Amino acid sequence: MTARIGVVTFPGTLDDRDTQRAVRVAGAEAVALWHRDKDLKQVDAVVLPGGFSYGDYLRAGAISRFSPVMETIIEQARAGMPVLGICNGFQVLCEAHLLPGAMLRNTALHFVCRDQRLRVETSTTAWTSDYAAGQEISIPLKNIDGRYTADEHTLDELEAEGRVAFRYATGGPEADGYGNPNGSLRDIAGITNAAGNVVGLMPHPEHAVEPLVGTGRTDGLGFFTSVLKKLVSA
């Protein structure tokens, strides 16, 4: 039976169609979920895609967190359903307290759009098992509110529990996508919850699943194949 992965659309979402395509490229069925509908349509996993939901008023993701669909997603995520938040979706997950910390305006106060080098820090989550810890990947980044922040206790806890999922790779020239693009603390690009079923990251893996579009690489496809393997083995 084909796995069903829901992709949520909020007002202002930009990357839902791209994410649905990435799901299909990976071999799953993409199911469109509307923000006002609490019904998840019996999906096996959920992706909150990127964009500017509700125009990023108040704070990025702050209004979407109260959409009816999020009530069900929060409940199912706490019960173990795999949930991935990409860019604005990561912001929503933080606002919903499924992930700790918050996203602030980039330190340079500019929108950043570039191919970004990431270092995979853990391969033990539902969304990263097809990667190896320490592996470098390159996927597109595009945000203005991408600076991850948290208090020192939370940061230390994330480090100690192995819950930093990705860091911005800093070992090469900026022209090749290296460096921290937004001032995120400890170069954090993505994190996971303690159970490993909820992951959020700022860069966009859905734009790097086919060689003819995006970066010209398929480094982002592993997110979607990882969760398929998780669902099959469950």
Distance CA 16, CA 9 (A): 6
Structure tokens at 215: 């970066």
Structure tokens at 124: 């033990």
Determine the Cα–Cα distance for residues 179 and 166; give it in Å rounded to an integer. Answer: 13
Other beta carbons less than 10 A from residue 98's beta carbon: 21
Show the tokens assigned to 73.
């997603």
How far is the C-alpha of 117 from the C-alpha of 138, rounded, in Å?
4
Question: What is the spatial distance between Cα 117 and Cα 179, in angstroms, rounded to a whole number?
Answer: 8
Q: Strand, coil or helix: what is 186?
A: helix
Positions marked active-site: 87, 204, 206
Residue 48 contacts residue 91 (beta carbons within 8 Å): no
d(CA 64, CA 57): 10
Residue 56: CA count within 13 A, CB half-sphere: 17
What CA–CA distance (Å, rounded) separates 109 from 182? 9
